[in-house]
Amino acid sequence: RDNGQVSRRVRAAIRVEGIVQGVGFRPFVYGLAIELGLDGLVGNDERGVFIEVEGGRAPVGEFLAALRGHPPPLAVIERISVERVRAGPGGTGFVIVRSAVGGDRRALVSPDVATCVDCLREMADPADRRYGYAFTNCVNCGPRFTIVRDVPYDRPNTTMAGFAMCADCAREYHDPADRRFHAQPVCCPACGPRLRLVDREGRTIAGDPVAEAVRWLRRDAVLAVKGLGGYHLAAVAAREPAVAALRSRKHREDKPFAVMAPDLAAARRLCAVDETAERLLTGPARPIVLLRRLPEPPELPGAAIAPSVAPGNPWLGLMLPYTPLHHLLLRELACPLVLTSGNVSDEPIAYVDEEAMERLAGIADVFLTHDRPIHVRADDSVVRTFRGRELPVRRSRGYAPQPMALAAGVPRPVLACGAELKNTFCLAKGRRAFVSHHIGDLENYETLRAYTQGIEHFRRLFDLVPEVVAHDLHPEYLSTKYALEREGVDLVGVQHHHAHVASCLADNGECGPVIGVAFDGLGYGLDGTLWGGEFLIADLARFERAGYLEPLPMPGGAAAIREPWRMAAAYLDLALGGCVPDDMDVVRRNADRWPAVVALARAGVGSPRTSSMGRLFDAVAAITCGRDVITYEGQAAVELERRADPAEPGAYECPLLAGAPATTALFTAAGPELVAAVVDDLGAGTPAEVVAARFHNAVARLVADGCARLRDAGAPSTVALSGGVFQNMLLLERATDLLEADGFRVLTHRRVPPNDGGVSLGQAAVAAALDRERG
Amino acid sequence: MAHGSGGKATQTLIEAVFLDAFRNPALEPLEDSAVVEVGTERLALTTDSYVVSPIFFPGGDIGDLAVNGTVNDLSVSGARPLYLSAGFVLEEGFPVADLRRVTASMARAAATAGVGVVTGDTKVVQRGKADGCYVTTAGVGLLDRPARLGVAHARPGDTVIVSGPIGEHGVTIMLARGELDIEADLISDTAPLNGLVATLLDACPGGVRCMRDATRGGVATILNEIARASGVAVVVDEDAVPVRPAVRGACELLGIDPLYVACEGRMVVVVDGPSAGAALDALRGHPLGGEAEIVGRVRDDPPGLVLLRTTFGGTRIVDMLVGDPLPRIC
Ligand SMILES: [Fe+3]
Ligand SMILES: [Mg+2]
Ligand SMILES: [Zn+2]
Ligand SMILES: [Zn+2]
């Protein structure tokens, strides 16, 4: 038993904490121990996994190394503690012990996981009983969060409850040596869910559902596919008529569609896939990764992307198949597929069968569906890459509800209600924060319902009763109103941009103090105006507004967000001292309403004042790129970034003016001067590509100069960059470069988005910090 | 100033200060008019102060506004308006000619509505202590119909009607202030609703659940009050809401939602399902209701919310505003 060696036996008691249940941890430990010839036991309790191993010093060491180095793919180990205990006589073998009663109660529900290679191999093997089966999964992969109805995470508490395991599946489920040991959604063609292809009236279409669906797709049909967290709408990416039809039926004018490529090789034919992108594309979360497109090679006709997929866009949102159904579909189709959320314009994605049939009947020609219900709607996650790691844009399927470890504890359980658009909520207790899946824009009733139900669901899943409720200060946010209706809790209002900065701190496991640069569309400020171009000196508990973009009116309020030319009007009126030449393109294009909008701004009627950086980008985008009206959030800024020539090093001057007296601000940044420089440059015949780049460089310099000014006045030399504007990679890169060159340490987002999707984590971090101070 | 904009802040102010101070059974329903019994008669009693700026605007002035507003508050409670009082607060130096114009238009409006202005009062305050001229009217009306009306009376299955195109008064006032370079062919909708109400109540006796004149906070605020008080959902069809192109254009320019803009001669009516057709016909047969439309339905779920079915089939929440509208988009 000691591999022939004579050595002293040792016994180690090991405790593993983190996401270690429902992820194949016990079979992994069991297999490892058997392989190394160790005696001992493994089991689950409410704290995680406990292990005792006994054997020779060398194999026990090897065991520990493997535990640390190669845990099961889905495990997220937060802590391993090892203690020497007295060794026994040996020869007892290795056993999996029963969980203590209620032991799984607090097991952390894992995110949904992309199909693993072992399952794929079985699906491709004609001799395997799961050959071609669209619901194949194991303890290392498959649906989790989206099918869990309640805890403990057991089959009866999932949407697999209605499927009784057959004898073969049951055997696998109960065999500690099997990859499907305690894999709750285990199933096979004999006992599990089934695919169905139906027409708009719900009538079944005969034949193999996948093969038939592909036949429809090839005839330019729009297909609705039931995925992991909801229905997708699909069309062959190379087929312009199909993609154009999808666009018009969905009422989606310009926003790019995401594409699912059959495999990594196909992805590489479409986009530049570096090491980081490859890791993200093929990882267990399988987000949509925004990647730079390659010029289309004419000799590879299958790799073509129709113009309507992402009109005029050098970037493409790319993902790889993540469910067995996607694998089957893409293998049969053998070319990229547009895969977009199953909804009409801004509605939430459809996930209940009858509702999907009803809502998508005007869009999809056929429905590829199945009988495994989805319990929680989860959109695809979206990420960009920045300096060899991911920068989340939308954190949802594959990530939620993975807890985030907090640097400091949460004395009393916190519910953070999040913002209004791109809402997520966050529950936190102990040292963990559970940021929800992407809920969406709360102004929509369906979304509000998903929000309130989602909060209840998370409370049950994580056994948490909030005692502190954190919320935004905007009085009209439905999340604020929801918070204010809670009874018997302590309410904590957190300023929007403080929440952004705190979310960046929490994301990086830090507490501050830092200079927080929060640039976004807008958020409610302490003075009742709308902020959004903020330099805060902040830690988790408090902040001071140390600098900001000079406020100006937004003529028509929300209308100025939908119509960037209005921001151009407001900026130009200030930049050019009220004398805007009639022959400027942006003025000519909007001549009929220009004087009225300028009058609105001057009179301050229906024109709230804002220091928003997003609105400055809008104004410059309207002036430079002709983007007068947007059809999706952030469109103008996105197009300005896209237009900018990355090789251009020049930058405009953006003076920092002395801060207003009787405020905490050391400076304000003169946005109109930047706009004046843009106008001059364009007037001198400089191409828009160069102007757009110089503007980006100017804003990056504004960030660096502002931070330097604050550091000179005693502020910390660490900077946290947050807010939706920092999804702009050109700005993020330039600003980070400049700051680092000037000796700053720079924190950027890596686990939650810089946009409002990350606000709930920040609110939770602030509420917890204030609660800690109260003691 | 958010406390004056007619939204939730006003509501909170009313509940926290006035209801607290004056609490009594006639006040408690917080309807537009109070119902009191005098001898064997049931009377409706209401009062309102008018501080509109400018005082003269296309389609009316502070005088007919003050008469019509009080007539309408009485009318929508189901009462027949009878008598009004009028109180004036004048800023020193307010031109007598203007005052004559105001009183003349009050007299005209009273005659049109068939009510008498039977008592009054005037105070003059120092220059700068008021803005030209404020008018307060109070009114009494006779509740001589059996109709039981109230914001809490809406039931699932009911139909929601507005009596005409919305938002004209509010937009007219905004443009009349002259700060904006906007020209629109618009006049205030100020009008007395007692005739229209009588026509409606005659046409569907027992079928009307509640009526409200959509003044401050507009149709959206009224619908929210109904949804909350009745514990029902009100689902409005965006495309069915009558809005004149000039109002729509001005609202779009100003970035405001016509549903929240004040009217002074339009009402929201909730009738039971079977009465919908008769109610609409009756309204349309009256000169002030020619463009009445069915705009929505009452449902049981989700209680307390007003939902707007948008052109694309989405359901947007039309909430009661806490204060002045501010963009929520980040
Ligand atoms: Fe934000
Ligand atoms: Mg009144
Ligand atoms: Zn697997
Ligand atoms: Zn089976």
CATH number, domain of B182, equals 3.90.650.10
B159 and B292 belong to one structural domain: yes
Q: How far is B16 from chain A (nearest CA, A)?
A: 17
The CATH number of A9-96 is which of 3.50.50.60, 3.40.190.80, 3.20.20.70, 3.30.70.100?
A: 3.30.70.100
The mean pLDDT value for A645-650 works out to 96
Which value does ipTM take for this structure?
A: 0.88
Instruction: For residue A49, report the distance from its CA to the centre of ligand 4, in Å.
Output: 28
Facing residue for A521 by CB, picked from B181, B313, B329 = B329
Q: Assign residue A387 a region (left: φ > 0; alpha: ψ between -120 and 50; beta: otherwise).
A: left
Facing residue for B180 by CB, picked from A443, A496, A596 = A596
Q: Provide the b/e sequence for A723-732 (b: ≥16 CB within 10 Å).
A: bbbbbbbbbb
At A660 the pLDDT is 82
CB spacing of B330 vs A595 below 8 angstroms: no
* pLDDT higher than threshold 90 for residue A182: no
B175 and B308 belong to one structural domain: yes
The residues that bridge with A515 in the sheet, in sequence order, are: A537, A719
Report residue A259 as tokens: 């594409």
* pLDDT higher than threshold 70 for residue B6: no
Cα A335 to Cα A342: distance, rounded to the nearest angstrom: 21
* pLDDT higher than threshold 60 for residue A6: no
Helix (H, G, I), strand (E, B) or coil at A454: helix
The CATH number of A195-370 is which of 3.20.20.100, 3.90.870.40, 3.30.70.1730, 3.40.50.2000?
A: 3.90.870.40
CB spacing of A445 vs B255 below 8 angstroms: no
At A412 the pLDDT is 97
For residue A440, the 8-state DSSP code is B
- Tell me which H or E stretch contains A354: helix A353-360
B230 and B257 belong to one structural domain: yes
Q: How far is A402 from chain B (nearest CA, A)?
A: 26
The mean pLDDT value for A79-84 works out to 92
CB-CB contact of A550 with A530 (8 Å):
no
User: Would A195-370 and A403-508+758-774 be classified into the same CATH topology?
Assistant: no
* pLDDT higher than threshold 60 for residue A3: no
At A2 the pLDDT is 46
Domain holding B135, by residue range, is 31-142
At A99 the pLDDT is 66
B113 and B184 belong to one structural domain: no
- Rounded to the nearest 5 degrees, what angle is found at the Cα of B54, between the Cα atoms of B48 and B56? 90
Nearest to A761 by CA among A419, A426, A423: A426
Report residue A132 as tokens: 């071609």
B198 and B132 belong to one structural domain: no
Report residue A554 as tokens: 């937004």
The mean pLDDT value for B19-33 works out to 80
* pLDDT higher than threshold 80 for residue A708: yes
B118 and B175 belong to one structural domain: no
Cα A503 to Cα A498: distance, rounded to the nearest angstrom: 8
Nearest ligand to residue A418 Cα? 1
Cα A733 to Cα A727: distance, rounded to the nearest angstrom: 10
Among B142, B174, B204, which residue terminates a domain? B142
- The DSSP-derived string for A111-163 is PPBPPPHHHHHHHH-TTSTTTT-TT--BTTBB--GGGB-SSS--GGGBTTTTS
Q: What is the mean pLDDT of chain A?
A: 93
Kindly state whether residue B14 falls inside one of the protein's structural domains: no
CB-CB contact of A260 with A225 (8 Å):
no
- The DSSP-derived string for A163-213 is SPPPHHHHHHHH-TTSTTTT-TT---TTTS--EEEEETT-PBPPS-HHHHH
* pLDDT higher than threshold 90 for residue B271: yes
B315 contact residues in A (CB cutoff 8 A):
444-446
Residues contacting residue B138 through CB under 8 Å, at least 6 positions apart: B45, B46, B47, B48, B70, B84, B85
Nearest to B14 by CA among A299, B4, B318, B24: B4
Cα A347 to Cα A444: distance, rounded to the nearest angstrom: 7
CA dihedral of residues A367, A371, A372, A376 (deg, nearest 10) = 60
For residue A444, the 8-state DSSP code is B
Instruction: For residue A396, report the distance from its CA to the centre of ligand 1, in Å.
Output: 18
* pLDDT higher than threshold 60 for residue A106: no
CB-CB contact of B32 with B268 (8 Å):
no
Kindly state whether residue B233 falls inside one of the protein's structural domains: yes
The mean pLDDT value for A603-617 works out to 95
Q: How far is A566 from chain B (nearest CA, A)?
A: 10
Q: Is A493 on the interface with B (CB under 8 A)?
A: no
For chain A, state the CA radius of gyration.
28
Edge-to-edge strand ranges of the sheet holding A94-96? A76-85, A9-19, A48-56, A39-45, A94-96
Kindly state whether residue B53 falls inside one of the protein's structural domains: yes
Residues contacting residue B30 through CB under 8 Å, at least 6 positions apart: B14, B15, B19
CB-CB contact of A114 with A283 (8 Å):
yes
Q: Counting Cβ atoms within 10 Å, is residue B239 exposed (0-12), middle (13-18) or buried (19+)?
A: exposed
Q: pLDDT > 90: what percent of chain A? A: 81
Give me the total of CB pairs closer than 8 Å, taking one residue from chain A and one from chain B: 120
The mean pLDDT value for B308-327 works out to 80
* pLDDT higher than threshold 90 for residue A176: no
Cα A97 to Cα A47: distance, rounded to the nearest angstrom: 15
Report residue A513 as tokens: 């103090």
* pLDDT higher than threshold 90 for residue A100: no
For the structural domain made of A520-540+545-749, what CATH number should be given? 3.30.420.40
Residues contacting residue A336 through CB under 8 Å, at least 6 positions apart: A236, A237, A238, A259, A260, A261, A262, A266, A270, A302, A303, A305
Could you give the angle at which helices A613-625 and A671-683 cross, rounded to 10 degrees? 10
For the structural domain made of A403-508+758-774, what CATH number should be given? 3.30.420.360
The residues that bridge with A231 in the sheet, in sequence order, are: A226
CB spacing of A557 vs B326 below 8 angstroms: yes
Q: Assign residue A512 a region (left: φ > 0; alpha: ψ between -120 and 50; beta: otherwise).
A: left
A window 408-427, beta carbon within 8 A of B: 419-422
The confidence band for B329, taking pLDDT boundaries of 50, 70 and 90, is low
The confidence band for A148, taking pLDDT boundaries of 50, 70 and 90, is very high
Kindly state whether residue B322 falls inside one of the protein's structural domains: no
* pLDDT higher than threshold 60 for residue B149: yes
Instruction: For residue A755, report the distance from its CA to the centre of ligand 1, in Å.
Output: 6
CB spacing of A606 vs B302 below 8 angstroms: no
B113 and B218 belong to one structural domain: no
pLDDT digits (tens, 9 = 90+) for B111-138: 999 999 999 999 999 999 989 999 999 9
B253 contact residues in A (CB cutoff 8 A):
556, 559, 593, 596-597, 600
Cα B107 to Cα A584: distance, rounded to the nearest angstrom: 54
Stronger pLDDT, B191 or B5, i.e. the higher one: B191
Kindly state whether residue B19 falls inside one of the protein's structural domains: no
B177 and B258 belong to one structural domain: yes
Interface probe for B, chosen from A347, A445, A479, A759 (most Cβ of B below 10 Å), is A445
Nearest ligand to residue A533 Cα? 1
CB-CB contact of A396 with A112 (8 Å):
no
Sign of CA dihedral A356, A361, A363, A366: positive
The mean pLDDT value for B99-122 works out to 95
At A593 the pLDDT is 92
B179 contact residues in A (CB cutoff 8 A):
599, 602-603, 605
Cα A518 to Cα A759: distance, rounded to the nearest angstrom: 11
Among B125, B142, B159, which residue terminates a domain? B142
The residues that bridge with A259 in the sheet, in sequence order, are: A318, A338
B136 and B257 belong to one structural domain: no
At A304 the pLDDT is 76
Instruction: For residue A671, report the distance from its CA to the centre of ligand 2, in Å.
Output: 46
Q: Is A342 on the interface with B (CB under 8 A)?
A: no
Q: How far is A331 from chain B (nearest CA, A)?
A: 35
B164 and B197 belong to one structural domain: yes
Q: How far is A627 from chain B (nearest CA, A)?
A: 18
* pLDDT higher than threshold 80 for residue A114: yes
Kindly state whether residue B168 falls inside one of the protein's structural domains: yes
B100 and B53 belong to one structural domain: yes
A524 contact residues in B (CB cutoff 8 A):
326
CA distances from A299 to A296, A316, A550, B72, B237 (A): 9, 20, 53, 76, 52
Facing residue for A344 by CB, picked from B182, B252, B314 = B314
Sorted by where each begins, the domain ranges of chain A are 9-96, 109-193, 195-370, 403-508+758-774, 520-540+545-749
Nearest to A13 by CA among A64, A65, A47, A89: A64
Nearest ligand to residue A186 Cα? 4
Kindly state whether residue B270 falls inside one of the protein's structural domains: yes
For residue B97, the 8-state DSSP code is H
Number of domains in chain B: 2
Q: Is A606 on the interface with B (CB under 8 A)?
A: yes
* pLDDT higher than threshold 80 for residue A21: no
CB-CB contact of B271 with B209 (8 Å):
yes
Cα A52 to Cα A97: distance, rounded to the nearest angstrom: 11
Q: What share of chain A is helix, strand, coil (3-state, %, to 5)?
A: 35, 25, 40
* pLDDT higher than threshold 60 for residue A188: yes
* pLDDT higher than threshold 80 for residue A681: yes
B133 and B176 belong to one structural domain: no
Diameter over CA atoms, chain A: 95
Q: pLDDT > 70: what percent of chain A? A: 97
Interface probe for B, chosen from A421, A441, A443, A631 (most Cβ of B below 10 Å), is A443
Instruction: For residue A118, report the distance from its CA to the centre of ligand 3, in Å.
Output: 6
A window 82-141, beta carbon within 8 A of B: none
Nearest to A390 by CA among A282, A280, A477, A482: A280
Facing residue for B181 by CB, picked from A346, A554, A599 = A599
Q: How far is B173 from chain A (nearest CA, A)?
A: 12
Tell the CATH topology of A109-193. DHBP synthase (3.90.870)
